[in-house]
Amino acid sequence: MKTFDIKISVINPDYNAKYEKEYGFLERQYENPKFESEISWTVEDLTEYRYRVDIALELEYSNNDERKICSLNNVCVLEILKDKETINKFIVSKSLVSSTRKINREKYDKGYFYFYLKSNIEYARLTDFIYIKADEIPEELKQTEQ
């Protein structure tokens, strides 16, 4: 069983790699951040993870104590499993993802998975674990927000 860190970072469009190389370890590093925002989670005792790209997923939600289902299309899903049972899912619109990075070596007790999101794209954080591009939010979910 492993500890796994998951991070979602929004890329800073003004980041300057040359500046980073020249001044990156000096006091002014804060002037050139790589990311506009970052949020991370640590999952304990996972046994495996699955990452699927560009899939359709049915999302269950409740509205006024009524259970409903809507479809999320073109999403990337990171499933966290413990003993073959899914304990969490991280869902991100494929069109938001610039890249991902995974580090998971068998001999180490810690793994990492990073989502790097494109900048200047409007998105909604539907829950702590669901990030959907604004124009891809299903109509039925938009209606529940009103």
pLDDT (average), residues 121-129: 92
Please tell me the pTM assigned to this model. Answer: 0.86
Q: What angle do CA 124, 15, 76 make, to 5 degrees?
A: 35
Question: What is the tens place of the pLDDT at every residue in 10-67?
Answer: 999 998 888 777 776 665 667 788 899 999 999 998 888 999 999 999 988 887 888 8
CA distances from 61 to 23, 68, 104, 126, 141 (A): 47, 5, 32, 11, 9
pLDDT tens per residue across span 64-87: 888 888 899 999 999 999 998 999
Task: Answer for the pair 49, 113: CB distance below 8 angstroms, yes or no.
Answer: yes
